[in-house]
Structure 1
């Protein structure tokens, strides 16, 4: 059961970073991809159908971690609170900017919401980078510090941005599409998105391999009950994601409700 629990934790975490990392990357580069109000609405329309569904993966990963690895969860959440609080704050600010942007027609309001999307996305991406820097050292109770932590945070944030560009090249049209595909030129498309997805997936797997998951798993029938329940709900979750991506697989040509 411990192996199944660890596999589910890795599955949900990889799912979030591959899917949710794409919309975070788009938010980070919103001012560059969209040069005016209409273009920015087009850019946000590219992630509008996905960002809430993508966050389900993060909630599921947190649920698996808390329920199946309670000892390690307490150690990591308390030790990495200086990293997790900014990560959560960035997530909330980004989502608030997305939801509030289309509520009024005033340009100043929309500009402020765009700033929230960009700032929240960068904060979350940099926090993920610092979290991975700490986890890769094998000491989950201590936030990473020093030049290595700074370089890792920046590197992971740039990876999020590259992943967002690859996703934007699949969804956007017009000038935002040309800007999204500029770094890869004619090689852009699903090949680039698949490559950045593989790198994004490697991050949590490398970090998880350094954690003592087997020794900190829950004991008794609780673990078996939790793993069984997760195995039941995972196929519908995956099916819903496949349906969502199939329905909205086309390129956006106009603004959405955001």
Structure 2
């Protein structure tokens, strides 16, 4: 049961980084991809059908962590408190910008919402890098510091941006598509997105290898109750996610309510 719980935690975290990384990375590049309000609406439309579903993967991972690894969860939250807080703030600010943009009248308010999306996306990407720096060094009980933390945070944020760029190149049309395509390199948007997908999935998996997951797992009775429930729900989550991505698989040609 411990091995299944660890596999589920890795699966949900990898799924969040791969799927959630698309909207976070695209939001980071909003000023570059969209040069005017109409283009920015088009860029936001490229990931607006997905971002809430993508966040479900993080919620599922958090549920597995809390239920199956309560000791590690407590250690992470207390030790990484100064990292988790800005991560949550960035998450809330970004989502607030997305939710309020379509309900904000006037160009100034929409610009503020666009700024919230960009700043929140960068905050989420950088703080994930900061958190991963501590996990890579095998010290989840305290935040990473020094040049290693800075370089890791910047590298992870750059990977988020590259992942969002590849996603934008396969979703957008018009001038935003051309800007995204110029930065994907000679390989083209498809191979670029595949490469960043592999790297994004590897990030949480590699970080988790240094955590004492077996030692901090819940007792056998708790795992015997929780793991089968999660295993039962997981195919439904995957099926719903696949249906959403299949439904909105075409390139966007016009803005949505955002």
TM-score by length of 2: 0.99
Deviations 1:156-192 (A, max 9, x none): 0010000000000010000000111111245223211
Instruction: Confirm or deny that 1:182 pairs with 2:186.
Output: no
- Taking the aligned partners of 2:222 and 2:154, their CA distance within structure 1 comes to 39
The equivalent residue for 2:9 is 9
- Taking the aligned partners of 2:86 and 2:181, their CA distance within structure 1 comes to 31
The equivalent residue for 1:219 is 219
- Taking the aligned partners of 2:41 and 2:166, their CA distance within structure 1 comes to 18
- Taking the aligned partners of 1:97 and 1:104, their CA distance within structure 2 comes to 10
- Taking the aligned partners of 2:186 and 2:205, their CA distance within structure 1 comes to 31
CA contact (8 A) 2:94 2:121 kept: yes
Q: Which runs of at least 4 in structure 1 moved beyond 4 Å after TM superposition?
A: none
The equivalent residue for 2:173 is 173
The equivalent residue for 2:121 is 121
Instruction: Confirm or deny that 1:230 pairs with 2:230.
Output: yes
The equivalent residue for 1:160 is 160
Deviations 1:131-173 (A, max 9, x none): 0000011111010000110000000001000000000001000
The equivalent residue for 2:88 is 88
- Taking the aligned partners of 1:189 and 1:224, their CA distance within structure 2 comes to 43
Q: What's the secondary structure of 1:254's corresponding residue?
A: coil
Question: After the TM superposition, which of the residue ranges 50-59 and 183-192 deviates more from structure 2?
Answer: 183-192
Alignment of structure 1 residues 131-210 onto 2, 5 Å: 131-210=131-210
CA contact (8 A) 2:134 2:144 kept: yes
The equivalent residue for 2:256 is 256
The equivalent residue for 2:69 is 69
The equivalent residue for 1:245 is 245
Q: What's the secondary structure of 2:183's corresponding residue?
A: coil
- Taking the aligned partners of 2:38 and 2:204, their CA distance within structure 1 comes to 36
The equivalent residue for 2:52 is 52
- Taking the aligned partners of 2:118 and 2:241, their CA distance within structure 1 comes to 25
TM-score by length of 1: 0.99
- Taking the aligned partners of 2:224 and 2:177, their CA distance within structure 1 comes to 47
Q: What's the secondary structure of 1:143's corresponding residue?
A: coil
Displacement of 1:217 in angstroms is: 0.3
- Taking the aligned partners of 2:139 and 2:154, their CA distance within structure 1 comes to 20
The equivalent residue for 1:34 is 34
CA contact (8 A) 2:165 2:184 kept: no
Deviations 1:93-150 (A, max 9, x none): 0000000011133000000000000000000000000000000111110100001100
Count of aligned residue pairs for this structure pair:
258
Displacement of 1:220 in angstroms is: 3.2
Q: What's the secondary structure of 2:254's corresponding residue?
A: coil
